[in-house]
Every structure is written in structure tokens, then in C-alpha cells.
């Protein structure tokens, strides 16, 4: 293979080919900066920090056996950093205008003849700047890109030496090598775990019976999880589901204090993730009621990304996450009942092999012809209404080119006919919700995001009325999502 050319991993190739006529597989985010930054400072920072990552100087070239990362001999930084002035209609606020522009950018394809990323510097936004970043999902998932974007801030550390990156680029996939097997083999091997586990247990020191039972239990779990993915029933039909128009709309709400979210979770015996997902479910259910649709008793299915890489490897680009299908109880009006159901369903997913199986399915699909990939993807997408992801961002405030990053928001992409993306990110003591929808399916996403805080406040009011000395049930963790 030519110098500087590397083979794209199958799972990243799958994400490369996942663009459709109504959904682009592109992660979009924005930093709101105060005061404004200068274009020349942005260019210098990108050149000295971001371009240290070889991937941002390479283009994706498809071939008969997959795709390759190839150096862009015509690379021009000016092509990837553009300056805009925000167009505002009469009576439109700056925030409304930025949301409209973000929706347009989310529906605008990147140029596949060049590296698949772009910055848009929007000048004169609320006394500062808005810095929009668009990156194709084949470059990396939310955890990786969050790490990379943090590294280009004033406080960020430079990426590891390029030699280490090259070793990773040419080496095997640690996840596939150590945890996974091709899907067909994995399901067959699950049955073998019965026999092998029991045989090995006879020679095990300590508790051979427990070892045998654990092996058997793991085998049953793997078979069960594979069947659950293959035979998922349809979720409830709502106006949020269907083939969209391809025109995107975005919204966001002001951050919730993370300390309050943690306090509510502790008082109600739930995780932070449970509280946030229950609040999202309530907001969607209330929106459906307002639009004349009765959600009572309905569940919509959301694909929730689950990180599969060690956090110390977060800087390594590429996609290393699985998906778990979560039934979101939008039809439960009582906030406590809704939280209990979310907690129970998230708990049931703990220890599941579904994220690993979903990852391997995607990797397998990247090796197939495009029609084969579509058939595999439809196992998930045809029975899904939304993607919901939760990324842990920096705990302390960041600065960029001397300006304060006062707010960071991103929007998760969808594929197939999935028309709703819910993104939650924690940053500097706050929890930020971003929502992206298809105009045909949800013409005003703010009517959902504006309900997020009120739904959370319902839970908080209940939590504050509980006796302080009353012990509450504890719940430790849940699958922690990330951008794909």
C-alpha cells in the first residue's frame, strides 16, 4: 500500500456508506465563544493542533474491497475553514437564526473529494462567535471526537506522537481481536460455552460449580441477546416515525445544573442517565399530546450508543461503540412511574452482549456490498424512531484562542428513516440537550426541547419533598451513550 495510505476498518466503512437521501451520517456541533475569535487565530490553531491527527488530512476513497484513507494531495485549509455572517430575518433572534443555519448545515453534504470535515466561523453572534464543526461519522465516534476537539482548546494537550497513531492505524482492532468473533461464529460458540465452560470448571480451583454456571449463563445470554436483536418487534407508530424530507431542524435548551440532576437521581434511587432519559421521554410524550396524538401506553424505540473503548484510548479515531435498543416510555404521564420503567429497562441492558453484537454486525456490513449492508442496517432502523446519546464532556470550562467556550452543543446523526436525534452532553457543571428532527416529521423541535426542563423539574419537586432521613434505593450506573 502506498505511503500514507491505510485501509479503512470495516466498521468505519459501514458508517461511510450510511448516508441516505434524507439523513447524512455527519456529526454537527457548535461552540459558543465569548469574546469573538479571529479567523487567523482559528486557522493557526487548526493547522498546529487538529492537523497533527493524520486523519484530518486524508480523504476516504472507496474501492472494490472496502475503502482507504488516502492523503489529499490538493489539501487546502481554506476549503475546510469558512467564514459566515448570520443571516437574520426581520423579528428573528440571533439564536433562531443560528438554529436555522445549523439545520441547513446538517443537511448539506461534505465534499467526498477531500477530507470529510469543515469548520464554519459565524461572526458577531451574541457578542462573540459561534464555531460550527461538521465531521463525517466514518472519522470517529462521539467519544473520540470529543477527545480530539478538547485537545485543540487552550487547555488541551497535544495528541500522542504520530508514530503511535500510525501503529494504531496499521494494527488490528483491539475490540475485534480480544472480545469479538464474526457474528455467525459468535452465536454458534455461545452454545459451546456450555460444554467448554463446564469442562474447564472441573480443573478450576476454588468454586468449579460457580465457574460452570457462569459460563453457561454467558452462553445463554449471548444467544438470547442475538435473538433479541434479530427479532425486535416494531415500536409504536407515531408522527415522529416515517420517511422524512431530508430538511433538518435543530433546537437546544439552556443547560441544567449537573449537581441538581445528580441530587434528583440520588433521592429517587436512579442514575443521572435514567433521570435525563425519563425527562426526554416525558417531553416527547407531552409534545405528542399537544399535537393531537394520544401516546398513552406507547413506547418508541431509541438506539442508544454504548462506548466500547478504554477511555485512555479515546484519542484514537474510528468507531468503537455498540448500540442497545431502548424502549422509551413516552406514554407514561406520571413522572415517577416513567422514571421507574426507564431505570428497570436500563438495568436489564446491563451485562448485555447486545452492544458487542451490534458492533460486529456493523463491522460485518462494512465488508458486504452496499445492498447487504442496507439489509443488515434495516434490522435496527426499520423498528426505530430515534437515536439518543449521552456524552460526558469536560468538567471544567474551556477556552479556545483566548475566548471562553460558554456553551457546547452537538447533534447526533441518524440513518435510514430515523428522524429524531437526541444528544445530551455534560460540560462545565451543566447538562445540555440538543435535538435534531426532520422537518416533515417534527416541524418544530423546540416544542420538545422546551419541555425537557419542565419534565426534569417535576422529578426535582418530588425529590425535594422526600424526607431527608428516608433511605432511598441505590442504583449504580447504566449504559453510557456517545456520537456516533
**What is the mean pLDDT of each successive set of 10 residues along the chain, which is 484 residues long?**
83 93 95 98 97 95 90 97 93 95 97 98 96 97 89 82 43 39 40 41 46 46 54 84 95 96 96 96 97 96 85 78 90 97 90 72 75 73 89 93 97 92 96 97 97 98 78 41 42
The grid coordinates listed for 272 are 443521572
Nearest to 391 by CA among 425, 432, 348, 439: 425
Beta bridge partners of 306: 322
Q: 330 CB contacts (<8 Å, ≥6 apart)?
A: 238, 281, 282, 284, 285, 288, 295, 298, 299, 300
What phi, psi does 312 have (nearest 5°)? Answer: -70, -15
Please, what is the end-to-end C-alpha distance for the chain in angstroms?
A: 28
The grid coordinates listed for 320 are 468503537
Are 68 and 82 spatial neighbours (Cβ–Cβ below 8 Å)? no
The grid coordinates listed for 465 are 419533598
Nearest to 106 by CA among 459, 468, 422, 413: 413
> Helix or strand or coil: residue 176?
helix
Beta bridge partners of 252: 434
Query: Alpha-carbon distance 441 to 327, whole Å?
Result: 19
Query: Alpha-carbon distance 213 to 198, whole Å?
Result: 8
What confidence score (pLDDT) does residue 309 get? 76
The whole model's pTM is what?
0.84
* Residue found by looking up cell 433546537 in the block: 251
The grid coordinates listed for 277 are 432519559
Report strand pairing: 256-257 vs 430-438.
antiparallel
Query: Alpha-carbon distance 152 to 159, whole Å?
Result: 9
What confidence score (pLDDT) does residue 119 get? 98
Query: Alpha-carbon distance 377 to 11, whole Å?
Result: 12
Listed in order, strand segments (DSSP E) in 296-419 are 300-307, 321-328, 386-392, 398-400, 403-411
Query: Alpha-carbon distance 59 to 70, whole Å?
Result: 5
What confidence score (pLDDT) does residue 289 get? 96
What confidence score (pLDDT) does residue 253 get? 94
Sign, CA torsion 339/341/344/348 = negative
Report strand pairing: 81-85 vs 117-125.
parallel
Listed in order, strand segments (DSSP E) in 165-289 are 248-252, 256-257
- What order do you get walking across the sheet with 403-411 strand by strand? 81-85, 117-125, 128-136, 26-34, 403-411, 398-400
Query: Alpha-carbon distance 362 to 13, whole Å?
Result: 9
Amino acid at each position: 500500500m502506498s505511503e500514507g495510505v491505510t485501509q479503512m476498518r470495516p466498521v468505519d466503512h459501514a458508517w461511510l456508506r450510511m448516508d441516505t437521501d434524507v439523513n447524512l451520517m455527519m456529526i454537527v456541533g457548535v461552540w459558543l465563544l465569548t469574546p469573538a475569535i479571529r479567523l487567523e487565530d482559528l486557522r493557526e490553531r487548526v493547522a498546529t493542533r487538529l492537523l497533527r491527527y493524520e486523519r484530518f488530512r486524508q480523504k476516504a476513497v472507496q474501492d472494490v474491497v472496502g475503502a482507504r484513507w488516502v492523503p489529499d494531495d490538493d489539501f487546502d485549509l481554506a476549503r475546510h475553514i469558512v467564514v459566515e455572517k448570520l443571516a437574520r430575518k426581520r423579528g428573528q433572534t440571533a439564536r433562531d437564526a443560528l438554529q436555522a443555519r445549523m439545520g441547513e448545515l446538517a443537511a448539506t453534504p461534505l465534499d467526498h473529494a477531500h477530507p470529510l470535515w469543515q469548520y464554519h466561523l459565524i461572526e458577531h453572534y451574541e457578542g462573540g462567535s459561534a464555531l460550527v464543526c461538521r465531521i463525517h461519522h466514518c472519522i470517529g465516534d462521539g467519544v473520540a471526537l470529543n477527545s480530539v476537539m478538547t485537545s485543540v482548546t487552550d487547555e488541551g494537550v497535544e495528541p500522542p506522537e504520530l508514530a503511535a497513531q500510525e501503529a494504531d492505524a496499521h494494527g488490528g482492532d483491539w475490540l475485534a481481536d480480544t472480545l469479538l468473533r464474526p457474528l455467525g461464529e459468535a452465536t454458534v460458540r455461545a452454545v459451546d460455552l456450555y460444554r467448554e465452560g463446564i469442562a474447564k470448571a472441573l480443573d478450576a480451583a476454588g468454586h468449579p460449580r460457580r465457574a460452570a454456571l457462569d459460563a453457561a449463563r454467558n452462553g445463554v445470554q449471548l444467544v438470547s441477546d442475538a435473538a433479541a436483536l434479530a427479532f425486535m418487534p416494531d415500536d409504536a407508530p407515531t408522527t415522529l416515525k416515517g420517511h422524512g424530507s431530508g430538511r433538518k431542524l435543530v433546537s437546544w435548551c439552556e443547560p441544567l445544573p449537573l449537581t441538581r440532576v445528580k441530587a434528583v437521581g440520588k433521592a429517587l434511587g436512579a442514575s443521572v442517565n435514567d433521570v435525563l432519559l425519563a425527562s426526554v421521554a416525558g417531553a416527547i410524550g407531552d409534545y405528542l399530546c399537544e399535537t393531537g396524538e394520544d401516546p398513552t401506553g406507547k413506547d418508541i424505540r431509541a438506539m442508544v450508543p454504548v462506548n466500547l473503548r478504554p477511555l485512555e484510548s479515546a484519542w484514537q479515531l474510528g468507531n468503537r461503540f455498540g448500540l442497545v435498543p431502548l424502549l422509551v416510555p413516552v406514554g407514561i404521564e406520571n413522572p415517577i412511574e416513567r422514571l421507574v420503567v426507564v431505570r428497570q429497562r436500563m438495568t436489564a441492558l446491563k451485562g448485555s452482549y447486545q452492544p458487542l453484537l451490534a458492533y460486529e454486525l456493523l463491522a460485518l456490513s462494512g465488508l458486504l456490498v452496499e445492498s447487504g449492508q442496507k439489509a443488515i442496517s434495516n434490522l435496527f432502523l426499520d423498528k426505530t424512531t430515534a437515536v439518543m446519546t449521552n456524552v460526558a464532556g469536560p468538567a471544567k470550562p474551556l477556552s479556545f484562542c483566548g475566548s471562553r467556550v460558554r456553551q457546547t452543543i452537538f447533534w447526533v446523526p441518524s440513518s435510514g428513516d430515523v428522524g429524531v436525534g437526541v444528544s445530551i452532553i455534560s460540560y462545565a457543571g451543566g447538562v445540555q440537550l440538543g435535538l435534531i428532527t426532520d422537518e416533515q416529521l417534527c416541524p418544530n423541535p423546540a416544542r420538545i426541547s422546551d419541555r425537557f426542563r419542565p419534565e426534569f423539574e417535576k422529578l426535582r419537586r418530588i425529590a425535594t419533598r422526600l424526607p431527608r432521613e428516608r433511605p432511598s434505593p441505590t442504583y449504580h450506573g447504566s449504559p453510557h451513550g456517545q456520537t456516533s
